Amino acid sequence: MTLLEKVKANLILEHSADDGLLQLYITAAVRYAESYQHLTENFYADNPMPPTTEQAVIMLSSHFYESRDGSTGGFFADNVQAGQQVWNTVNLLLRLDRDWKV
């Protein structure tokens, strides 16, 4: 299953009208993961992505999609801390696979 398919499953999205947009969000989330983890750009194009990093990418891509109108979006839209919680969770997941070089 591709990352696009996994993000669409996470969003419960069955149409393909937004596939191009989703792919842009996935690319941005992967680049964020690589940067946060101190990896070179396109690292995950040539190397397997650990499950924790993949989950972070899926969550962040979904958040970008659900928040594209500027709101927090998603299930927790009524919670003012929802957007920040997404980032906290994504960063915690990415930290597990981070290259801690100084």
User: In which band, very low, low, confident or very high, does the pLDDT at 102 lie, cut at 50, 70 and 90?
Assistant: low
Could you tell me if 43 and 98 are in contact, meaning their C-beta atoms sit under 8 angstroms apart? Answer: no
Domain ranges of the chain: 3-95
pLDDT value of residue 84: 81
Segment 1-26 mean pLDDT: 97
Computed over every residue of the chain, the mean pLDDT equals: 89
Could you tell me if 25 and 17 are in contact, meaning their C-beta atoms sit under 8 angstroms apart? Answer: no
User: In which band, very low, low, confident or very high, does the pLDDT at 81 lie, cut at 50, 70 and 90?
Assistant: confident
Interval 40-78: pLDDT, tens: 999 999 999 999 999 999 999 999 998 887 665 555 556
In the chain, at which residue ranges do the beta strands (DSSP E only) sit?
Answer: none
SS3 content of the chain, % helix, strand, coil (to 5): 60, 0, 40
